[in-house]
Each structure stands twice: as structure tokens, then as C-alpha cells.
Structure 1
Amino acid sequence: MAELSKFPAEDIDALIRNAELRSELEPYYDESIVQLNKSRLPLTVENDYLEMMLAWEVAPVLPIAQWFDPPLRPVHPAGLSQEELHDELMNLADLLYEKQIVLDFTEHLSDCELYLLICRDILPSREKMLAVRDGYLHWDCAGVDENQEIWLTYYATEEEREMWEEINERSAPYRLEVPYPRALPTDPN
């Protein structure tokens, strides 16, 4: 017992917490823990990492609409005026932001198109519902992975366009101004 008294109480608490976390993570043991064992992180940093790993492993996978209480059930846009649709869209964007979801590359879409994309693609999408998120979930509304034309036309920087042309050995589409500029919540980082 005299041996333990040489260490500050915070260090002892951190060691105990580390053992608890490693025990809870045992069923999920994989190469990320093996790599962690090889690193020389301060114990508090390691514990933060282990807590994030545990949160990820135990988080339920739910449709984003069910992350809300009550679950989100947006009204069909057909019965809304343009102003009502815009207000509903902004409300949905704010609600998603509260759950740390940001909508990227939206300004090529009309309010109705973006509203439908949220209702049809985002809200039913099954994602990990983390109690605490370290960052934001970014939703690519331009479908950059599937269709780079939209990104190149409206969002890519000149440098990105030149790089794309060099890699693809062809000209990028003409650059255009976004037709629907809007101010949606963004990742503060």
C-alpha cells in the first residue's frame, strides 16, 4: 500500500479507468487496440481514445430520423408554399445541426430538391448514433463520389479543378455560380 501512495490520486484514478475501459472493450478487441498498446500516449489521452472507441462500439445504428424524440416526420412538400418550404428546410437543417450533422454542397439544389434529398436520403440513412460526437457528420449533397461534375462546376477551387484536369487528362466543366446560395449551419472547426 505504501507503494501506491507515491503516485498522485489522479494517476491512480486514470490507471483504474484504463483497466475498466480495456475490460469493457475486450469483446471488440482488434488491431486498433494492438496499435494503442504499441504507442506511448499519456494515460489521460489513451483513456479519452478508449472512451471514444467504446462509445462507437456500443452506439446503436438507427435511421437519422430516429435520433430525434419524437422521430422526425417532415411534411410532404407538395402542400407547402415556397415560403413554408423554405422555413421547413431551414428548420430541418437546424435540427440536423443540433445532432452534429452538416449539409455540404447544397447550393446547386433548389429548396424543394434539398428538402426531398433530406427526406428521401438523409433521414432514412442508418448511421451510428453516438451520445457524444467528437466532430460533425458531413453529408455530401452533391454526391461527389458518384458525380464529380457538380462539384467541379460549382464548388471546386481553381487548384482542385486544375489537379482534376491533370489526373483525368480532360477539361473540367465550365465553372458556374451557385444558383441557390443559402446560409446553412456549418462545422465550426
Structure 2
Amino acid sequence: MNTFHKVQYNNIYNVEWKKLVNWLTPVTLRKKKLLALLYALVSPINDLHTRFITYKKNIDYRLKINYQVCFLQAALNDRFDYTGRRIQIVRSRQFDPQPLFLLPENKPMVLNARPGTGKILYTKSETGQFTADFIIKIPASLQYDLSELTAFVNSYIVQCRTFKVQTY
């Protein structure tokens, strides 16, 4: 493998503007007043460069987060509970739905005929058709905005996944 491909460009965006001004100014013209003027002229570029580096770091951080539970949980804790890191993501329990039939359909129906032999009826939210794919557990003492949390999670998960926020 070529050594060119192994080179990492971690410092490609680092620019020291004062050094650059000093290097590009001829030695004979390097006076305090001229250098102060050049530093003043370069300061807006330095500000834009600092904003760019901050934006780049934010984008790099967002690109490292995906729909996997460990990354999403870390991102939620970074955003909403940085010190305690108490937010957890757990799988929701799903049960198979039990069909109920009407009498004119002539199908057998057993509803807890004898203890241990009948079927258990689950609520609509507990059956496999209507449950969330995962549950975000947040401590009750934590202050958060539900719409902000929902938008934050929706920006990272696959769109067909559903979730529920639960306090503990």
C-alpha cells in the first residue's frame, strides 16, 4: 500500500493567522504599526475560521452518531444529562395480539375459562402491532423539553422506528 493513503489530515484546517501575517510580510516592512494594521485586517478572517472549525467539530460529532442504541444513548446523555448520564434506552416488551371474534363468525373464543388455561388479553399499546420499538427512560428529576427530545431522537433514528419516553 502506498504511504500516501496512510497519511491522516488532522491538522489540515489549523491556521495560525498571526504567524501567517508575519511570514508574508517582508522583513524590512515589519514595524509595530503595520503589523497591528495587518492583524486588524486579518481578525475577521480569523473569526470566520474559528466559526468554521466549531461548525466542523459539530458536524463531525453528529456524523459519529447513528441509530445504534449505544451511540444514541450517549448522544442523549450528552445533550440532556451531561453530568449524571442517567438516560437509558431499553427494548420494549411486545406481546402477540390475541384476536377476538364475533359470535356470528362461529369461531372458538376462550377468555380465561379456567385459571392458567385461558388467554391473557393485553391492551392495545402492549401488543406487537402498536408498541414502540424502544423506550427512552429519563429520571423524573431531569428537566427536559419533550418536543426537543423527540426532534433530537427523530433526527438520528430510522424513520420507521417508533419510541416512547418514560420517566422513572
Give the TM-score category using the shorter length: under 0.3
What's the TM-score once normalised by structure 1's chain length?
0.24
More helix by share: 1
Higher RCO (C-alpha 8 Å, min separation 6): 1
What's the TM-score once normalised by structure 2's chain length?
0.26
